[in-house]
Chain A
C-alpha cells in the first residue's frame, strides 16, 4: 500500500513529454533532486526528506541559429564513477552541467546535416555507461561522450548507428564483471530496441524489432530488458538473445515512463491512463526464465502522467509528474 506524501510545487508545469521526470537520490546528503521539463526550460529542484523544498533553479535551452525556439526534450542526471552530471537535451543540442545545475561544463550543437526541411532535429535519450554519457538523436544515431573525472574536457568520441528512427530512451546497467555482457539498451519511435555492450568497445549485440508502436521508455536489470510501448504493453526480453519472455497488458493508454529500483528488482510503469503500476522482476530459480508479479497499482486521478521515478533504490517511494500539473506528486509505502 502507498500513501500520498507532501507534493512539491513547480513554478510552471510539466510538458506532455515522455520520461518527463528525473530524480537524483543523494541519501548521504539527505537530499533528492528533481528535474522537470516544460518548453524551453527545465526546472531543477532539491528537496529534503518529507519533500520539504530547498532550492530551485531554471535552466534554459541554449538558442542557436534558427528562428524557432529551442525546446527541451529531456533532462537527466548521469551518475559516473567520479562525478555526477546533469544533461539537458533540446532541439539545438546537448548541454551538460554540474549536478546542481550551477555551471554548464559542455555544449554540443547538433548537426542537422542531412535532415529534410520537415524533419524535427533534436537530441533525446540520456544515459551514463561507465565513464561515458550516451545521448540519442532524431536520426537514430547515438552520440557517445567521453567524460573525464573532472573538468570540462568532454569529447564526443563516437557515434553509434543502429536506429533509423528518432531515439526515445537509453538504459544502462553496470556490466556484471565480464566484458562481453549486454549493458546498454536503446529504443526508438518505431519500437525497435538495440542491445549493446560497451566494453571493450561499443558493439551492437542484438536488435529486437518493434511491432508498429513506439517504445518511449526502456530499462535494463540483470540482463532483463524491460520495454514499454505506445499500446500500453510492457514487454520483458532476455538481453543476450532478444527473446520475448513476458508480455504484460499493463495500461489502457500509451506508457510514458518506466523506472527501476535496482536493489529490489522493482519496475515502475506510468501511463496516460492515469495509472502507475509497480512490478517485481525475478528469475525462475529452476530454469532462469524471467518472471514478473504485479505489486501495486495507483490511480492518479485526472492526471495524464508524463513522468515517474522511484525515489529510493528499494522502490519504497516514487514521484510522478502530470501534463499541466503544477506539482510533483509523491507516494511512499506504508
Chain B
C-alpha cells in the first residue's frame, strides 16, 4: 500500500471534482494555464508529394515550431531539426523556430508542409575550415615547400621584403577571421547546407593557392613605385582591418548572447563605426578596402581578381541585407547605401 487511504480519498475527490468542475485551474510545467486549453492536432505533410508524414495530437497551443520539429524528429530520426523546413504552404516561406502554434493562421488541426533541407553543417565549422585553409596554404608557398617551384628554390626565402610583409598581412587577416568566428560573431542561423562547405573551401583555398603561388614565386616582381606604394598599401590594409573588426564588435553588441534579435546598427563612440552613417554593411566596405590594400601591396593580378570577385559577392550580400533592413524597419536611415557611400 504505497498510498494511504486518506490520500486515495483526496485523489479520488480531486479527480471527481475535475470532472464535475472542469474550471479548476490547472497549470503545466511552464506555469502557464492549461485549463480549458484546446489542444491542437498537427499533421505534417511532405511539401512535394503531400504524403502524410506525421500526426501529432495533443499539441499545446503555446508549442513553438522548434518543439514541433523536435517531435517530428522523434518519428523520423533521419531528419534532425536543423534540416527541417516547416511551412504553412508547400511553396511558402519557412516558419521560424520561435513561432508559436496558436499565433499562426491555423485551425485546431494544423497542417504543415515539410521540406528536407538536406544534410546540414554548422556555420562555425564551415568558417573555421574555409579560413584555416588559406592560412596554411599560403604558408606552404611562402616557405617554398618542395614540388611547387623548381627544386633549386626549395625552402629558400624571397629576397624582397614586401613578400615577407605580404605573408604577415595575409596570415594576420585569416587569424583575425578565425578568432572572430570563435569569439565575436553571433550567428543567426545555426547551420547551412553541407554542400556549401565544398563550394566555399574550393573558392577560398583555390584563390589562396593561386595568389600565394605568384607572390612567393622566385621570379616575383615587386611594386613599381617601391616603398611609397607598399607603405600606402599597408596603411590602407591596417586601417581597413581595424575598421572591419570594429564593425564586427559593434554588430555583436547589438545582439544579446544566444539571441537572434535584429536591430538597426548605429555609429558608436569608435570612429571606425561612423561609416554606419553612410553605409548599411561597412564590414564589407572595409573588407574591400583591405583587399585593395593587399592588391596594391603585392601588385599581383590574381590578387586583383580575387578582390574583384569578392567585391561582387559582397555587393550582392550587402544589397540583400540593405533590402531586408528597409523592409523590417520603417525608420531606417535614408542616407545609407548598401556597400559604397552614395554609389552602390
| A complexed with B | no
